[in-house]
Structures are given as C-alpha cells and as structure tokens.
Amino acid sequence: MLNYTLRRLGIAIPTLFIIVTAAFFLMRLAPGGPFDAEADLEPEVLENIRASYDLDKPLLTQYRLFLQRAVRGDFGPSLVYKDYSVTELIAIGLPVSIQLGLLAKLLALVLGCTGGIVAALRQNTTVDHAVMAMAMTGIALPAFVTAPILALVFGLYLKLLPVAGWDDGAWRNLVLPVVALALPQVAVIARLMRGGMLEVLRASFVRTARARGLGEARIVTRHVLPTALIPLVGYLGPALAGIMTGSLVIELIFNLPGVGRYFVQGALNRDYPLVMGIVIVYATFIILFNLLSDLAYAGLDPRVRKAYR
C-alpha cells in the first residue's frame, strides 16, 4: 500500500506543476490586460502601475517570481479587488464553495445510491424504468439549465425559497443551489450503483449465499453492497472535486459569495494573480480527491494492492 501511495504522489506533484504552468502562460496569451480599462491614465502612470505588479518584466521572469511566491502560499495582491490579496479572497470564498459542494455531494449520494439500489432490486420493472428515465434526464440537463428553472418555479412563481443571496448560509438560501448542483450527480451515481449491483447480484458467490438459505436483506447488505460500491468509490474522488469546482456557474446564478464568482470575474478582468491562485486551489482539490479515491479503491480491491507490491 505504501508503494502504491508513493507512486500516486509521484504522479500528482508533476501533474499540479503542469496545470499551473499551462494556466499561467494561457492567461498571458489571452488578448487584453488587467489595466486596459484605464484608458484615461497617462502612459507613464500606467507603466508605473504595471511595474508595481512586475508586469513589465519578461514573461519567464514573471513565471519564476510567481512560482517562488506560490511555493510560500503567497499569490500576491488582486489586480481588480483593491486592498485585498488573493489569499484573503480565497479565504472568504472557499468556505462557501466547500459547504455548497459537500452538501450537494451528500444529497447526491443519498438519492443516487437509494435510487440505484431500488432500480437494481426491481430490474426491468416500472420502478426500474422510472428511476433510469429520471437519471437520463438528470444527465442530459446541466446545472446551468436546471438552476434557472428551479429559481423560476420555487422562487418566483411559488415564492417558497429565495432565488439569490447567502444570508450567512441559511438553509433557505442553500436549498435551490444545492439541489441544482446535486441533480446531475444523482443521475450518474444512480446509474453506477444500479450497474454495480446488477453485476454483483449475478455473481456465483451470491447464488451460493442464496442456496445456503441466507435472507435477501443480509445478502444485499453483507455481500452485494461492499463489492458494488467499488466502481462508485472510483468515481467519487473526481466527482467531489468536480462538484466543488463546477459550482462557479451556480454561484453566479444564485449570487453566492463563493470562489467561483471571483474566478469568473477574475478571468473577465484579466486578474492574473486571482485566477492563478484559484486554479492552484482547484487543481490541488482535484488531485487530492483523486488520490484519496485511488487509495480507497485500493483498500476495497486487493488486486490493486497486489499489482503495486
């Protein structure tokens, strides 16, 4: 297991470096700059502003300086949000994005696993077809489509829930964004759970357990579920990171003060330090959750551990 962990770490660190490098140079290659809107400034003043942020230096020098600061956890000041450093903005928005993502993933796991198990145990029945039809609908409709629909129906027409705002994380403000973010994941998890359950239910050891007279509930909970969860565990790591990083559109639609809003505004305004800081945070989350998912997968499947001994 230690060898497997070290190998995965050996892949994760260069991957993070490649992502950061690619994001840095792609941001600089995009047309426009952070101070293009300051057209009324004198050229000398504009040049002094650029120099204060090291933007007058060669690109490779800027890259070297950025890496030196980033290793220390210093992403520099924001070019657009005055009097704020990038670290401060991330500290403000990241708890909101994490709370939103974790609640959405928890809801997706509960609904998706329940739907997948019920569909597998009632294969080819009306219940199975209904669950899979809803799952396909959930996959086909992305969050940026379902979110306005939910806001329109439950916020404007029925007036049951607020359509925007955070209000210090009040549950009424969380319901719509969490549901909108969770629905596509519910569909994927339900399909994965159903497929894993059906495969295990046809296995020879399940037939043996039934032949020995074990109850169906015990067979499902003790023998089928642990094995059926293996494909789902392999999916959960990337999905958890994706649901957190994918919340940026939801944050904009529902006007939530998360990192996603800063990321979008930073990209539009060419706020290089802010975008790079959030890219590093998002990439770290994705790599970390993938690593944890791989370790959990190896813990459940002994064949993976044996392959890396």
Identify which has the larger pLDDT, 228 or 62: 62
What band does 175 get if pLDDT is binned at 50, 70 and 90? Answer: very high
Q: How many angstroms separate the CA atoms of 281 and 187, rounded?
A: 27
DSSP sequence for 169-218: G-HHHHHHHHHHHHHHHHHHHHHHHHHHHHHHHTSHHHHHHHHTT--HHH
Q: How many angstroms separate the CA atoms of 198 and 211, rounded?
A: 18
| pLDDT tens, residue by residue, 251-282 | 888 888 888 788 888 887 888 888 888 888 88
The residue extents of the domains of the chain are: 93-307
54: left (phi over 0), alpha (psi -120 to 50) or beta: left
Q: How many angstroms separate the CA atoms of 96 and 166, rounded?
A: 9
Strand runs (DSSP E) across the chain, as ranges? none
Reading the block at residue 259, the tokens are 């990192």
Question: Of the ranges 160-174, 186-200, 294-308, which one carries the lowest mean pLDDT score?
Answer: 294-308
| pLDDT tens, residue by residue, 244-257 | 665 777 888 888 88
Rounded to two decimals, what is the model's pTM? 0.78
Q: How many angstroms separate the CA atoms of 274 and 279, rounded?
A: 9
Coil vs helix vs strand at 77: strand
- Using the predicted structure, report yes or no on whether residue 98 has a pLDDT greater than 80: yes
How many Cα atoms occupy the beta-carbon half-sphere of 297 within 13 Å? 20
26: left (phi over 0), alpha (psi -120 to 50) or beta: alpha
Q: Which CATH number fits domain 93-307: 3.10.440.10, 3.40.50.10860, 2.130.10.10, 1.10.3720.10?
A: 1.10.3720.10
- Using the predicted structure, report yes or no on whether residue 93 has a pLDDT greater than 60: yes
| pLDDT tens, residue by residue, 203-224 | 777 777 777 777 777 777 777 8
Question: Which residues on neighbouring strands pair with residue 64, listed in sequence order?
Answer: none
Per DSSP, the chain holds a count of helices (H) and strands (E) of 14, 0
Coil vs helix vs strand at 85: strand
